Amino acid sequence: MESGRSSPTWEGPPPVLNFPAIIPISEQDLANLPKVTFDQSLLRVAENGIEIPLCLAGPMLVLQAKHNEQVSSTPMRSFLEEIAGVETSSPGLAGRGSAIRKMSTWLLYQCETLDQCKNALKPTPPLVLFEIIVEIIRRLEPVPFYVTLRTCRVMEKVNFLNPNDPFDPTDAELCQETPAMFWSDVEGNANPTQIEYKKLCETQVQNTFITSTRLGVLNIVNCLFFKDLYLTRSYLMRNIVRFLIINLIALVRKYCFYLCSEFPLLMTPLYIIHEAQLKPFQIRSVLNNVAKAFGPLIFRLDVRWRNHIIRTHDLMDSDNLEREVAAMARILTESIMRNILCTNSDYAWMPGRPMSAIIYHTSSNCPDECICRFLPDYIGNDMLATEVT
């Protein structure tokens, strides 16, 4: 009290205090957190290399180890088949959501060493580890990877799960029809026979036209995202995006490898695409679930894309304008994530590589007879020698 006067009393109903359900994490917050150093692959811990915040690196390392144990067990298991219920909205306070939020907060503000993190997470099931990583990424502000308008427009057309032309945007109907059209046997059974597996494998892998077309589109996709990543000024944020995408590709690839172990394929950039055709029901489901969980949290679409959508879909007079645009944005970010997983191109996201090092070639007579001849139309010659650090 000052001058003998007491504090004024509150008159009226109790005040309502609105605290944020989730405390956002800024780039500066991440910069101040403990780090784990990785080699260029962003999969292995190293003494010198790329630093990733411990709150993400620790759970991902434990998750990779636990997933390796799952897929190599008999019978094979994988948490990737269980993540259909993981939402990008905040988990509820009841049940597992509360535990996930508490562990996420501990990782962000109390955990100090990798050993401490591993010991704390050792009893945690893989699915919960996955949800913890989703929860931490959800808190990042802004959404880390800005996707330019040009990339958005191209990715509206790309669908690597199309069995023929990856530049055919007929995603919904075709993906739903594909299992019945292409993968059932003569009697209409859902599971193909071994002979059909082998025949399909030979047809898809040996079809030069389909392979060249896919590799050509894959080059375009990788180079567009390489270029967009170059526009992300924050070195730390670029590496966090790289770390997430490389590790998600590694998880899906490991799942495919063990799921389709009876029909081994060469480990090429088209590996996951080919495996998704061998066992479409399981692998498409996994790709979709991972894309739904991470796509909207990693990719932030160019603001000009919103205006493009409103204009081309005649939404200006719509009563639900924001809802419809948000729904389309979610569909596109999920599609971007799914197609990036399909590329099996973790090499394209490793730091310190020039764009020329991530381009796949199909002919020594380059570019006249090589698929890389299409790249200047999408990327521009000035970007082909660019290196992102």
Tens of pLDDT along 14-43?
A: 655 554 556 789 999 999 999 999 999 999
User: Is 179 in the same domain as 134?
Assistant: no
Question: Looking at the domain assignment, is residue 1 inside a domain?
Answer: no
Amino acid present at 211: T
pLDDT reported for residue 169: 47
Amino acid present at 29: D
pLDDT at 281 over 90: no
Q: How confident is the model at residue 186 (pLDDT cuts 50, 70, 90)?
A: very low
User: Is 91 in the same domain as 175?
Assistant: no
Lowest mean pLDDT among 67-76, 173-182, 197-206, 226-235: 173-182
Question: Looking at the domain assignment, is residue 3 inside a domain?
Answer: no
Q: How confident is the model at residue 155 (pLDDT cuts 50, 70, 90)?
A: very high
pLDDT reported for residue 185: 38
SS3 state at 367? coil
For CA atoms 155, 67, 72, 184, the dihedral sign is: negative
pLDDT reported for residue 207: 59
User: Is 129 in the same domain as 150?
Assistant: no
Q: Is the distance from CB of 93 to CB of 40 less than 8 angstroms?
A: no
- Strongest mean pLDDT among 80-84, 112-116, 314-318: 112-116
Pairing of strands 299-301, 353-354: unpaired
- Strongest mean pLDDT among 17-31, 105-119, 166-180: 105-119
User: Is 187 in the same domain as 118?
Assistant: no
Average pLDDT over residues 180-200: 44
Q: How confident is the model at residue 168 (pLDDT cuts 50, 70, 90)?
A: low
Lowest mean pLDDT among 90-99, 230-239, 373-382: 90-99
For residue 219, what are the contacts with CB-CB under 8 A and spacing of at least 6?
359, 360, 371, 372, 374, 375
The CA distance from 239 to 244, in Å, is 9
User: Is 108 in the same domain as 210?
Assistant: no
User: Is 277 in the same domain as 257?
Assistant: yes
User: Is 352 in the same domain as 277?
Assistant: yes
User: Is 279 in the same domain as 169?
Assistant: yes
**Helices assigned H by DSSP within 207-352:** 208-230, 235-259, 271-278, 280-298, 303-312, 321-343
Lowest mean pLDDT among 127-131, 147-151, 198-202: 198-202
Closest CA to 370 of 362, 381, 359: 362
Of 99, 125, 141, the residue at which a domain comes to its end is 141
Q: How confident is the model at residue 320 (pLDDT cuts 50, 70, 90)?
A: confident
For CA atoms 44, 46, 51, 55, the dihedral sign is: positive
pLDDT at 331 over 90: yes
pLDDT reported for residue 161: 87
User: Is 176 in the same domain as 280?
Assistant: yes
Question: Looking at the domain assignment, is residue 175 inside a domain?
Answer: yes
User: Is 270 in the same domain as 341?
Assistant: yes
Domain extent, residue 121, equals: 21-141
Pick 123 or 164 by higher pLDDT.
123
Tens of pLDDT along 233-275?
A: 899 999 999 999 999 999 999 999 999 887 777 788 889 998 8
CB atoms within 10 A of CB 69: 10
Of 141, 168, 198, the residue at which a domain comes to its end is 141
Average pLDDT over residues 167-177: 42
The CA distance from 151 to 130, in Å, is 28
The CA distance from 63 to 128, in Å, is 9
pLDDT at 57 over 60: yes
Q: CA angle, 161 as apex, 342 and 283 as ends, to 5°?
A: 65
User: Is 107 in the same domain as 162?
Assistant: no
pLDDT reported for residue 229: 94
User: Is 244 in the same domain as 381?
Assistant: yes
Of 122, 141, 160, the residue at which a domain comes to its end is 141
Question: Looking at the domain assignment, is residue 255 inside a domain?
Answer: yes
pLDDT reported for residue 10: 58
Question: Looking at the domain assignment, is residue 188 inside a domain?
Answer: yes
pLDDT reported for residue 322: 85
pLDDT reported for residue 92: 44
pLDDT reported for residue 245: 99
Lowest mean pLDDT among 191-195, 248-252, 349-353: 191-195
Question: Looking at the domain assignment, is residue 158 inside a domain?
Answer: yes
Amino acid present at 55: C
Average pLDDT over residues 180-201: 45
Q: Is the distance from CB of 223 to CB of 383 less than 8 angstroms?
A: yes
pLDDT reported for residue 13: 67
**Average pLDDT for the chain:** 82
Tens of pLDDT along 283-299?
A: 999 999 999 999 999 99
Number of compact structural domains in the chain: 2
Question: Looking at the domain assignment, is residue 4 inside a domain?
Answer: no
